[in-house]
């Protein structure tokens, strides 16, 4: 049998297979049955002794039956967009809630109350600031709390707030609008604290799984925006009143969150998910976990490994947020005065929101077929920076009102092409950066890397939101 085992002329040997070495040391005593490496002062052996011995335990990778875990991570991707996209899209509902009640039940778009005028500005502040603060705390301390506890509790909190907001759709708040405004802002803070914690946790977990699971969750994020745009178009088509529209948005969001709760509990019981979660020995590049060795890894050290992907992600989201939706929501059709439904009620929902979201989804799907793989980090960073050209190009479209810049691209086809390319490039580069970053670190650092990348994603959104105010002033 010895001749079947390759031997290597060395001055030492290690015992990696489960069993006993010739000195009575049991391999695998570091963490239960996991294999371990004998310390340097324990290395011994004959130069002809095999480096590896037969009989080592063979791990068979479990299968994701029916791609169930992958579909659940796709659902998680949709869910993380709920606190912002779905609530922001229900603009008619919020304008109705904060209308001038003395003028009757109808909303006058030309005469806005102070609450109406300031709602979306406050929405941005109470959304982005808590989200950015939360992800900073999550990156530093989340690994100290067991993932099931922190993610499940966060998802429950988001679901509870959505249920509360759904109930208030049918509550008459006309007599206490200011109180309701404050209540909504507090709800936004809670939503984004726990929603961002859940988002960071899910991206971290997806980093532990094979790359297609990160890709699935990233596609889900884009589909969340696409669904919100689709609901908006349906609401306009059905001539729904603002209360019914709000009930559709919030009710649909609540249903997705409840489904997500059941999905989260279900994947915890699957062999596939538990294997990648608990078994760094089954990770293909190491046998010792972050917890096993108990070492603290500096965030700066981690950042140096993935800084190109992180900066690219920040640039992608920042540039997109500078013009979408702050500028794109102001672009009107070249035939805006024709009185047609297309150039009036449907142009902005379809061209500025739906087409962007559709392009975003397509870009993320394309990244799986035409990937920018290992060694392309510099290219991802370069392409992300080139996207800054979208800002002046979209500013020169037919966005109204404007006081400084001329209209150069009045034609609807040019604007539609620009918005579609904005979405395609956003989805493609974001997906590429998110998938590539965890591959560049050891398995026991992948969850933390995924959470850190979420921080740069949110930082890009926050920075872009601030810059969008300046960009609009340039018009």
Q: What is the pLDDT of residues 325-336, one digit of tens each?
A: 888 888 889 988
CB contact set of 313 (below 8 Å; sequence gap of 6+): 384, 430, 433, 434, 453, 456, 457, 460
pLDDT of 195 higher than 70: yes
Q: What is the pLDDT of residues 230-275, one digit of tens each?
A: 888 888 888 778 888 888 888 888 999 999 999 999 999 999 998 8
Assign 168 a pLDDT band (cuts: 50, 70, 90): very high
CB contact set of 209 (below 8 Å; sequence gap of 6+): 69, 73, 273, 276
Read off φ and ψ for residue 44, nearest 5 degrees.
-155, -175
Cβ–Cβ < 8 Å for 332, 398: yes
**pTM across the whole model:** 0.73
Domains of the chain: 1-57 (no CATH), 67-284 (1.20.1250.20), 296-475 (1.20.1250)
Burial of 453 (0-12, 13-18, 19+ CB in 10 A): buried
DSSP state of 241: -
With tokens 């689709």, the residue in question is 230
For 201, 283, 288, 380, the CA distances from 446, given in Å and listed in that order, are 12, 11, 13, 20
Read off φ and ψ for residue 377, nearest 5 degrees.
-60, -40
Q: Hey, what are 8's tokens?
A: 């290597």
Q: What's the rounded mean pLDDT across residues 424-446?
A: 87
With tokens 């979306």, the residue in question is 120
CA–CA distance, 437 with 425 (Å, rounded to integer): 18
CA–CA distance, 152 with 180 (Å, rounded to integer): 28
Confidence at residue 386, expressed as pLDDT on a 0 to 100 scale: 97
Assign 279 a pLDDT band (cuts: 50, 70, 90): low
């Amino acid at each position: 049998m010895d001749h079947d085992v390759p031997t290597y002329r060395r001055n030492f040997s290690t015992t990696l297979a489960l069993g006993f070495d010739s000195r009575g040391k049991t391999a695998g005593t570091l963490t239960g049955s996991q294999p371990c490496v004998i310390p340097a002062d324990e290395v011994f052996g004959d130069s002809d002794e095999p480096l590896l011995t037969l009989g080592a335990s063979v791990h068979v990778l479990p299968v994701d039956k029916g791609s169930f875990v992958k579909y659940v991570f796709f659902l998680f991707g949709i869910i993380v967009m709920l606190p912002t996209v779905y609530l922001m899209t229900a603009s008619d509902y919020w304008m109705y809630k904060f209308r001038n009640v003395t003028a009757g039940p109808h909303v006058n778009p030309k005469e806005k109350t102070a609450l109406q005028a300031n709602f979306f500005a406050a929405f941005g502040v109470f959304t982005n600031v808590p989200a950015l603060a939360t992800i900073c705390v999550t990156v530093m301390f989340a690994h100290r709390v067991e993932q099931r506890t922190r993610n499940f509790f966060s998802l429950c909190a988001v679901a509870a707030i959505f249920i509360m907001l759904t109930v208030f759709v049918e509550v008459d708040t006309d007599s206490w609008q200011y109180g309701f405004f404050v209540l909504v802002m507090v709800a936004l803070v809670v939503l984004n604290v726990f929603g961002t914690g859940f988002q960071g946790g899910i991206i971290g977990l997806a980093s532990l799984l094979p790359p297609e699971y990160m890709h699935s969750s990233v596609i889900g994020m884009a589909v969340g925006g696409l669904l919100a745009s689709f609901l908006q178009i349906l609401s306009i088509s059905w001539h729904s009143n603002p209360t019914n529209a709000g009930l559709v948005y919030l009710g649909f969001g609540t249903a997705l969150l409840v489904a997500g709760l059941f999905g989260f509990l279900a994947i915890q019981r699957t062999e596939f998910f538990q294997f990648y979660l608990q078994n760094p020995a089954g990770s293909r590049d190491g046998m010792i976990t972050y917890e096993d060795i108990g070492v603290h890894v500096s965030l700066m050290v981690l950042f140096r490994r993935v800084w190109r992907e992180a900066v690219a992600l920040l640039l992608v989201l920042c540039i997109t947020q500078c013009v979408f939706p702050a500028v794109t929501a102001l672009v009107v059709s070249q035939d805006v005065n024709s009185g047609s439904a297309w150039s009036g009620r449907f142009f902005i929902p379809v061209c500025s929101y739906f087409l962007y979201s559709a392009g975003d989804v397509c870009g993320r799907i394309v990244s799986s077929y035409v990937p920018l793989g290992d060694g392309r980090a510099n290219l991802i960073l370069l392409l992300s920076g080139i996207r800054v050209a979208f800002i002046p190009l979209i500013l020169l479209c037919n966005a109204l009102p404007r006081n400084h810049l001329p209209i150069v691209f009045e034609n609807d086809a040019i604007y539609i092409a620009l918005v579609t390319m904005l979405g395609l490039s956003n989805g493609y580069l974001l997906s590429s950066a998110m998938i590539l970053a965890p591959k560049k670190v050891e398995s026991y650092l992948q969850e933390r890397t995924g959470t850190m990348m979420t921080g740069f994603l949110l930082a890009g959104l926050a920075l872009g939101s601030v810059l969008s105010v300046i960009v609009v002033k340039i018009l």
